[in-house]
């Protein structure tokens, strides 16, 4: 099996049509779809099983979860996958399997992570895809950090090893990516369109006061990492800055106070030379009017 696709499903009724399209377009030979069903909907398991079985030749697994958060659901998917490569997909988004499989086939055996372009659902691709230069440099990473999107990272299963997601609903994906970068992976970038992204689910999470506080826990975990490789230090900082801005923008007074505390910790851990790169990233966020 070449590619395992892990899809947490929290609202089957709402995303039934999109999941049907994912199944219809999945390569029968090289892809397995792993659904992690984390919902209170009655008969959801029966309905999803019938949907999968109606697609002739599709390779699928359905796992039931009670985690009630995407981090725990993705961890179950990691344990169940049998593919050489792994893609994490949201149930309301759409992956371009042909582009992903073609890009994987062009890479050498030493590659750990492949990062592609994305589009926003319902909006012109050219205006909403993150530009990728193809080089592992600061400009490329600043562009990617505007929307790091776990779903645009195709990860070799063996490289993940024992890395898992925190059992939280916000920031757990970026913490997972930072943990991978901490192990200095070999990364290749491609302009191939990997994914069509729906903003609705991200916006609903950001607007949830009960979920936004998850970022405080995530930031504490990220800031506690020691001996982070210099090669990816700026990338980690971009992710952390993005999270701090999100927390300040969408959190209550308690969260805003936490931002000031965490920002002090962040500044104390870095030499002044790092501040310039971080400041440029903040400027890029403001210039592009990116929704964070």
Per-residue pLDDT band at 172 (split at 50, 70, 90)? very high
For residue 205, being part of any structural domain is answered with no
For residue 132, being part of any structural domain is answered with no
Q: Percentage of the chain with pLDDT > 70?
A: 82
Q: What is the pLDDT of residue 121?
A: 78
Please give the Cα distance from 228 to 112 (Å, whole number): 18
- CB under 8 Å to 82, separation ≥6 — which residues? 1, 4, 32
Please give the Cα distance from 111 to 185 (Å, whole number): 8
Give the Cβ contact number of residue 40 at 10 Å: 9
Q: What is the pLDDT of residue 33?
A: 97
| Residue 6 parent element (H or E) | strand 3-9
Note the pLDDT tens digit of each residue in 136-162. Answer: 666 788 778 888 889 999 999 999 988
Could you give the 3-state DSSP secondary structure of residue 29?
A: coil
For residue 99, being part of any structural domain is answered with no
* Strands ordered across the beta sheet of 3-9: 59-64, 31-37, 3-9, 85-88, 153-156, 113-120, 187-197, 94-95
Q: Answer whether residue 128 shows pLDDT above 50.
A: no
> Which of the residue ranges 34-43, 145-154, 168-177, 275-284 would you say has the lowest mean pLDDT?
275-284
Q: Answer whether residue 134 shows pLDDT above 70.
A: no
Give the mean pLDDT of the chain: 86
Alpha carbons within 13 A on the beta-carbon side of 208: 12
Q: Answer whether residue 270 shows pLDDT above 80.
A: no
Q: What is the pLDDT of residue 211?
A: 85
Find tokens 């990492």 and name the residue: 225
Tell me which DSSP letter residue 230 carries: G
Could you give the 3-state DSSP secondary structure of residue 171?
A: coil
For residue 53, being part of any structural domain is answered with yes
Q: What is the pLDDT of residue 137?
A: 65
Domain that holds residue 33: 1-92
Higher-pLDDT residue of 66 and 218 is: 218
For residue 126, being part of any structural domain is answered with no
For residue 271, being part of any structural domain is answered with no
For residue 153, being part of any structural domain is answered with no
Domain count, the chain: 1
Q: Answer whether residue 127 shows pLDDT above 80.
A: no
Please give the Cα distance from 249 to 246 (Å, whole number): 5
For residue 127, being part of any structural domain is answered with no
CATH of the domain at 1: 3.90.550.10
Note the pLDDT tens digit of each residue in 199-208. Answer: 765 555 555 6
Q: What is the pLDDT of residue 200?
A: 66
Per-residue pLDDT averaged across 57-70, rounded? 91
């Amino acid at each position: 099996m070449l590619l395992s696709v892990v899809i947490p499903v929290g609202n089957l009724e709402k995303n039934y049509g999109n999941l049907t399209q994912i199944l219809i377009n999945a390569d029968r030979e090289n892809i397995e779809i792993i659904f992690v069903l984390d919902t209170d909907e009655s008969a959801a398991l029966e309905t999803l099983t019938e949907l999968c079985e109606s697609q002739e030749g599709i390779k699928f697994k359905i796992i039931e979860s009670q985690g009630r958060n995407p981090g725990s659901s993705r961890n179950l998917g990691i344990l169940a996958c049998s593919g050489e490569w792994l893609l994490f997909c949201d149930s309301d988004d759409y992956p371009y399997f042909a582009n992903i499989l073609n890009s994987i086939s062009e890479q050498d055996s030493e590659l750990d992570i492949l990062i592609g372009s994305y589009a926003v659902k319902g909006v012109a691709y050219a205006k909403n895809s993150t530009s990728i230069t193809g080089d592992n440099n600061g400009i490329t990473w600043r562009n990617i950090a505007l929307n790091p999107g776990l779903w645009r990272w195709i990860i070799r299963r063996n490289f993940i090893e024992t890395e898992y997601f925190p059992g939280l609903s916000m920031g757990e994906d970026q913490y997972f990516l930072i943990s991978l970068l901490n192990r200095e992976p070999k990364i290749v970038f491609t302009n191939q369109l990997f994914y069509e992204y729906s903003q609705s689910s991200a916006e609903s999470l950001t607007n949830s006061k009960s979920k936004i506080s998850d970022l405080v826990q995530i930031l504490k975990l990220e800031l506690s990492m020691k001996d982070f490789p210099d090669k990816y230090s700026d990338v980690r900082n971009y992710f952390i800055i993005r999270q701090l801005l999100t927390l300040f923008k969408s959190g209550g007074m308690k969260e805003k106070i936490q931002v000031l505390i965490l920002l002090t910790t962040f500044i104390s851990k870095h030499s002044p030379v790092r501040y310039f790169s971080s400041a440029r990233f903040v400027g890029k966020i403001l210039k592009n009017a990116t929704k964070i």
